[in-house]
Amino acid sequence: MFQIIDRTITPEIKLFNTELEGINLIKPIIFYLNNNIPIYQVNVGEQDVVKIEFIFAAGSCFQDKNLTASFTNQLLTEGTINYKSEKISEVLDYYGAFVEKEVDRDYASIIVYVLRKHLNSILPIIEEVIKSPVFPEEELSILINKQRSQFVINTQKVMFIARSKFTEFIYGEDHPYGRNSKLEDFDNIKREDVVDFYNKHYHSNNCKVIVAGKVDQDLINSLNTHFGVDSWGQKDSQSSILDFNVNNLNSKKNFIDKEDSVQSAIRIGKVLFNMHNEDYIKLQILNTVIGGYFGSRLMKNIREDKGFTYGIGSAIIPLKNSAYFFISAETGSDVTFQAVEEIYKELNKLKEHPISYEELDLVKNYKTGEIMRSLDGPFAISDLTKLTIQFDLDANYFSRYLSVIRNITSSELQELAIKYFNESDLYELIVGKNNK
């Protein structure tokens, strides 16, 4: 029997305090292939589809030349010892498989989505892609030309400039997290740079795997056959020891002139600490109040009340050895400095006045909902698992996250604002036309 729902009746609002206890955080099962590659198994879901993610500590912070981390990852599917790029695409398309490649500051990933029944048909291709790429010179040339053209276009956009230059300003341009690509880098990168980066970082001793979806023993056996029988790659290669200490001598206030721009991009923020710091979760909640969701204070003031921008927000970006906080907006050039003034006003309000119970309760519900959405299905759960792997978090991290959300008070958040949101400690970058 189907229940008829009366759509004229508003659904019951379930209060924050009564719902948190019922959230079930699913923890992956961890085991190892014969060559000791760790497998994180998220065996959840009813659909006959699986997601397999191969994770390597091969992010841009490890590159000696700009672009090599990204280009190495992108070129993995562009030709192997036994397959040309066309054949790889043909096989993946035939079996309805989809491959994503991702690179960030710390890690690189190859992610495979495929129906469970077709897994054994595409694993030989994936094995070649990961273990035997050849990085054809022609494919590298195509990629360089394509990325250079896009880079030239992007460098005309104030938001792109602000985003890339901001990490340089807060970390320093020689810091592993502060280095960014320049136009001349496209002319300097060579095939041997890509091959060398691959050899150093793509090997069995530097690999972790997450498997999510309908996982059975046959799937695990297949992974072991293709990736676990022997060690592979130049497994004795060692990544360079990097210095992540921030010793930044840049000015706190920076302006990049784009005389022809009708809009300006604003970035305000600072370097923080990694996810292991006891204040990290609390700051994520405070960030939500100031600019982390559509009902945030910055949105209400600068978008809805003042009309200076279509959108403004803030975020804390986690990194393995650090994190950074930033506020970001694009405004009309004529109101840029007014918008900056209002941003600092909102930060000062957090220091001067406790957050009301109603606002804090709303934010708590929002943050709880975020975590609940991250548990919606095997692939979302695998993304949480990925965070625990990448940032060396223990299995109870997100349970503690929920506990902090439940118990944090307005006075604690006010103390955090006083501690971390002083204007003298914040870096400010504006890219646009100076109408002062």
CATH of the domain at 98: 3.30.830.10
- Element (DSSP H or E) covering residue 117: none
Residues 266 and 159 in one domain: no
Please state, as a whole number, how many other Cβ atoms lie within 10 Å of the Cβ of residue 101: 16
Q: Specify the pairing of strand 253-257 against strand 108-115.
A: unpaired
Residues 333 and 215 in one domain: no
User: Is 243 inside any structural domain?
Assistant: no
User: Is 319 inside any structural domain?
Assistant: yes
Positive or negative torsion for Cα 229, 233, 236, 241:
negative
Boundary (domain end) residue, out of 228, 261, 296: 228
Please state, as a whole number, how many other Cβ atoms lie within 10 Å of the Cβ of residue 66: 19
Residues 170 and 291 in one domain: no
Residues 159 and 213 in one domain: yes
User: Is 24 inside any structural domain?
Assistant: no
Number of separate domains in the chain: 2
User: Is 61 inside any structural domain?
Assistant: yes
If you compute the radius of gyration of the chain from its CA atoms, what whole number of angstroms results?
Answer: 24
Residues 48 and 171 in one domain: yes
Structure tokens given for 176: 């592993």
Residues 393 and 285 in one domain: yes
pLDDT at 1: 46
| Cα–Cα distance list, 61 to 3, 64, 184, 364, 389 (Å) | 55, 8, 19, 34, 18
User: Is 344 inside any structural domain?
Assistant: yes
Residues 299 and 370 in one domain: yes
Residues 198 and 261 in one domain: no
CA–CA gap between residue 214 and residue 194 (Å, rounded): 35
pLDDT at 11: 65
User: Is 14 inside any structural domain?
Assistant: no
CA angle 188, 104, 177 (to 5 degrees): 75
CB 302 within 8 A of CB 342: yes
Phi, psi angle pair for 9, to nearest 5°: -100, 125
Residues 323 and 206 in one domain: no
User: Is 10 inside any structural domain?
Assistant: no
Residues 63 and 190 in one domain: yes
Boundary (domain end) residue, out of 228, 243, 262: 228
Positive or negative torsion for Cα 313, 319, 324, 325:
positive
CB 327 within 8 A of CB 266: yes
Residues 224 and 257 in one domain: no
Structure tokens given for 92: 């993946």
pLDDT at 16: 47
Boundary (domain end) residue, out of 184, 212, 228: 228
Residues 317 and 415 in one domain: yes
User: Is 317 inside any structural domain?
Assistant: yes
**Domain of residue 124, residue span:** 29-228
Residue-by-residue pLDDT tens, the chain, 436 positions: 456 667 777 666 554 443 445 455 677 889 999 999 999 998 887 788 999 999 999 999 999 999 999 999 999 999 999 999 999 999 999 999 999 999 999 999 999 999 999 999 999 999 999 999 999 999 999 999 999 999 999 999 999 999 999 999 999 988 999 999 999 999 999 999 999 999 999 999 999 999 998 888 888 999 999 999 889 988 665 556 678 888 777 789 999 998 888 899 999 999 999 999 999 999 999 999 999 999 999 999 999 888 888 899 999 999 999 999 999 999 998 999 999 999 999 999 999 999 999 999 999 999 998 888 888 888 888 898 999 999 999 888 888 999 999 999 999 999 999 999 999 999 999 999 876 6
CA–CA gap between residue 134 and residue 266 (Å, rounded): 42
